[in-house]
Structure formats: structure tokens, C-alpha cells
Amino acid sequence: MSTHEYGSEPRLDAILARAAISEPGRAAVIFQGKAWSYAEVHDRARRLAGALAGLGIRKGDRVAFWIGNRAEFVEIIFGVPMLGAMASPLDHWWTWKDAYVALEQIRPKVLIVGPSQAAAVVGHGDALQAAGIEHVFCLDECPPEKIFRSYAELLASASKLRNLTPVAASDPAVVFFTSGSTGRSKGAVHTHGSLLAAASTAALEFELQDGERTLHFLPLFSSCMEHLLPLTLRRATHVIMPHFDAAAVWEAIETFQITHFDAVPTTLRRILDAAPAKIPSSLRSITYASERMPEPLIAALIERMPEVGFVQFYGMMEQLCLTVCNPADQLRKIGTVGRPMMGAQICLLNPEGEPVGPGESGEIVARSLTVFAGYWQDEAATKQILTVNGMRTGDLGRFDEDGFLVLDGRVKEMIKTGGLTVIPNEVEGILLGHPAVKEAAVIGVPDERWGEAVHAVVTLAPGTALLEADLKQFCQDRLTGYKRPKAFHIVADLPRTGIGKIARRLVRERVMASMSK
């Protein structure tokens, strides 16, 4: 292998090749006690590409992989694009029914499954064939059905891909699936160019260093862009955990001298609760995103880990790198998600598509090199989100006096009550100010008089008790009348998406179900 093999083509797999050429002996992946060097991971990726080529996989074909957090994720995400084919990681928490909705959309020729996913596929051979799937490979022991073949044997018998398939920056490389929190999961197509831009921008704006030792406990199918790709660009060692466990996180940080990890506020709260008396000195950086960061939580994290730099960012599956809030601004600008990243242009538009005034809230519409190419074979949905003004994020936001972006929630989550608009984030922020409230979700439910009524669903901090009347009085002292929740629901927990965000749609469904009883 030499540098000229990759030339100047803007290709995703060049990220792995660069690390393998410059640091072949450095540990690339550590998983369940075993380590693979960058040279070994790149070799396995080229063997996979060679094997897939032997099966007839060509440029434009799709290869889906439905696996958990494992070492093989790395070689698959980089190996498939070597053929000009598209890799598609599926949510490893999906049921068979959920997965099949995605498989029917992209119609991959090859499906790679982990052990629990293989068990879910058993008995569905005819459905797989109907979805265009010709080969199913298992990472571990295969079920007895004939449709399954061994992934390990596939690689062991394969030769490395000899010639990389030429690609352009605009050629598709990966199909990520959205969470489906507002309906059916859609395949978001990213190109070689958009993923390279995302990796480069994140590596720069997150101030990642060469040779980081990073820990993965968020699901790789969702954290790939902001974590796996930019950290591989920085030739990091990836320590992969099969699932999240707060105590195991601290053990891994100590054992592997972890310097960085990526998280969401939900996991950070649990990590803080499990923190040891002495924070390992190797840890220097934590990036986070996904949901509102409560001020008490970030303040407690910074107090407990004063030597660690916290970096908040804002983006989404369709366009990752939009804003960043660096460590110096974590407390000074709490409640914001930072300023636009390099190359990102953000405008705020009203429903008529016109710019809003200073300090006013509007839909966040953004442009950057990290924007996706569109939804897989869904021209209507693509046209709705990719407009002449940029990509419509579906989020509402406003800029403060220093140009920091404040998120006001999702456009579809705005509550219209009596002709007035209530921003759920604002009410949630008030509720989180109560010392007994741990989490809060504010939703609108149908109301004959007002159109929609504001309802609040909260969980309580351990060891506390609270009555609905207490919350009502608390809000009465702090919120204008129409913004006050008409009802409060105190629950044991809030439903979440796979990456830990509060699943507001499910919250609303639970409230509606309880009201109908």
C-alpha cells in the first residue's frame, strides 16, 4: 500500500488509509480485550472490499449492516466505500419489523448481522429475498438456516481489493437512517465529500489532537459522523464498549488512559453520579450534543472535572457541523449551542421564508459542506428539506447579542394555545429550575376551548417528593398565564430514543393514552 493508491480523490476510505500509511503500528481499535493496529484494520477493510467485489457488489450497490458496537463496524464503514458502494448502518436496537422497513427502502444486496440481529432474521428468508438481499453474513456463530454465512470465513478466504473504484466528491458513500421520531425512518444519503467535510470540520472545531484515545459507548450507528470519522482522521485509538455502563466507562478511562469521549447529557448525568474520588488525569476533553444541557448539570460536571474541556455542538444526521460552544463559554453562554462552525452559514426564517428581526425566533436554515445529498429515493421529502435558502432543520432558534444560537425547540413541537405560541423549551427550562424536578417534557394536547393545552411531564430527583399543586404554584410565579401547563404528570421515567434523547412523540402518546382511560 502506498499513498499514490489514493491520489487526490475525495474519498471516505482515504481517512483510514491515511492513518494506516502514517501510523501502521498504532492501535486503531480495542474491543473486549483485543487490539487491532491501523495496518490490520485497513487490511481487513480491503479484504472485505475484495470479498464483496467477488460477490458482484459494484459502484452504487448498498451493503447494510445491522450490528451492535463492535470492532467490525470500523472495517465495514470504510471498506464498503472502497468499491464505490454505499454502507448503511442500521439501528441495532430495532426490531425485525423496524429493520425491514429500512431494508425495503434501500434494497441492499448484502446484509451483515450481529448475533441478536441474526436471531431476529431467522424465519424471514423470503422477506429478505423480496427486499433484494442476496447474501447474509453473521459476525459470530450462524443460525442453522441456509441463508446465513460466516463473516469471518468470508474475510479469511478473500484477497485484498486490488484497485479502488474511482469516486467523485458527489458520489454517495453512506446511507444513515433517521431516528423516526416524527414518523417513518428515512435514509439520509451522505457523499464522500460531505463526510470528509464533516470529519475535517469536527476534528478542527472540537480541537481533537493526533493520537487521541477515545471511548465509544454511544451507539456507533448514530455517533459515527461526529465521533468515529473525525477521530480516525486524527489517528485515534478507538476503545469500543458494547453498551453504556457508567461504572464501566470510568474503568475503561483508567485502564486505557482515555483522553476523550463523546456523550449526551443523559449519559453525562450518570457518568457524573458514578465518578471516582480521583478523576483520571488522562481525560482532557468531552464533546456532547443531542438534547438540552441543564445548567445545574454542566455546572456540576465542570466543578467535578475542572481539568476537562467540555465542547457542545449542534447538528443533525442530515447536516452535522453547524455550531460549537467551546470550553470557555460553557457557563458564560449556558442555554446556547454556540456560534456557527467554520463553513456553516445559518439564517433564521419566519413561516413565509423571510429573515426574522434581531432577537426573534425563526426556523434554522443552514448551508455547509457537510449537508447530505437527500433522502433515499424520496424526492418529495428531499425537496421539503433542501430549499433555495439552504437546508431546513425543523428547529426554531434565535441569536443572542453575541451571535450565539439559542434553540427554541422543533417547529412541529410548538404549541398553539388560544392563538398564541408556546415554546416547550422555555417552559421546560422553568420546570428544571425546581430543585425536585430531574427531567421535564412539555407537550401540547388537543383542547376544545384553546385548540391545544400545555401539559408538562416530569420526573423527580431521587429522594424528593412533589405534588401537582406545588408545580402549579411554581409556574404561576414564573410564567405568563397562557404558558403555564394546564396539567402536570409526574412519572417514573421518560421514554427515550436510542441515543438518549427524550422521545417527545412517545411522551405525547403516553399522555393521550392516560387521558383516554
pTM: 0.86
CB atoms within 10 A of CB 104: 12
Q: Could you say which of 171, 191, 211 is where a domain stops?
A: 191
Q: Tell me if residue 107 falls in helix, strand or coil.
A: coil
**Would residue 236 count as lying in a domain?**
no
**Would residue 205 count as lying in a domain?**
no
**Would residue 376 count as lying in a domain?**
yes
Grid coordinates representing 299? Answer: 455546572
CA distance 288 to 268: 9
Are residues 103 and 88 part of one domain? yes
Are residues 121 and 92 part of one domain? yes
Strand partners, 176: 188
- The predicted pLDDT at position 450 comes to 79
Q: Could you say which of 128, 157, 191 is where a domain stops?
A: 191
Are residues 400 and 432 part of one domain? no
**Would residue 273 count as lying in a domain?**
yes
Buried b (16+ CB within 10 A) or exposed e, 442-452: bbbeeeeebeb
CB atoms within 10 A of CB 67: 24
Are residues 402 and 286 part of one domain? yes
Are residues 257 and 385 part of one domain? yes
Are residues 309 and 254 part of one domain? yes
Report, in angstroms and rounded to the nearest whole number, the Rg of the chain calculated over CA atoms.
23
Residue-number span of the structural domain to which 471 is assigned: 414-516
Grid coordinates representing 267? Answer: 449519559
Are residues 390 and 306 part of one domain? yes
Are residues 384 and 274 part of one domain? yes
Domain count, the chain: 3
Are residues 183 and 253 part of one domain? no
CATH number at residue 402: 3.40.50.12780
**Would residue 220 count as lying in a domain?**
no
**Would residue 196 count as lying in a domain?**
no
Q: Could you say which of 161, 176, 191 is where a domain stops?
A: 191
- Number of residues assigned to the chain: 517
Are residues 437 and 399 part of one domain? no
CATH number at residue 475: 3.30.300.30
CA distance 174 to 220: 13
**Would residue 211 count as lying in a domain?**
no
Please report, in tens digits, the pLDDT of each residue of the chain (517 residues total).
555 566 667 899 999 999 999 999 999 999 999 999 999 999 999 999 999 999 999 999 999 999 999 999 999 999 999 999 999 999 998 999 999 999 999 999 999 999 999 999 999 999 999 999 999 999 999 999 889 999 999 999 999 998 999 999 999 999 999 875 545 789 999 999 999 999 999 999 999 999 999 999 999 998 999 999 999 999 999 999 999 999 999 999 999 999 999 998 889 999 999 999 999 999 999 999 977 788 889 999 999 999 999 999 999 999 999 999 999 999 999 989 999 999 999 999 998 899 999 889 999 999 999 999 999 999 999 999 999 999 999 899 999 999 999 988 777 777 878 777 788 888 998 999 999 999 999 998 888 777 888 999 999 989 898 888 999 999 988 988 889 999 999 999 998 876 677 888 888 888 888 877 6
Are residues 341 and 281 part of one domain? yes
What sign does the dihedral 246-248-254-260 (CA atoms) show? negative
**Would residue 227 count as lying in a domain?**
no
Are residues 143 and 248 part of one domain? no
Phi, psi values for residue 115, rounded to 5°: -65, -45
CATH number at residue 47: 3.40.50.980
- The predicted pLDDT at position 278 comes to 96
CA distance 340 to 405: 8
Residue with cell 432543520: 393
Phi, psi values for residue 259, rounded to 5°: -105, -20
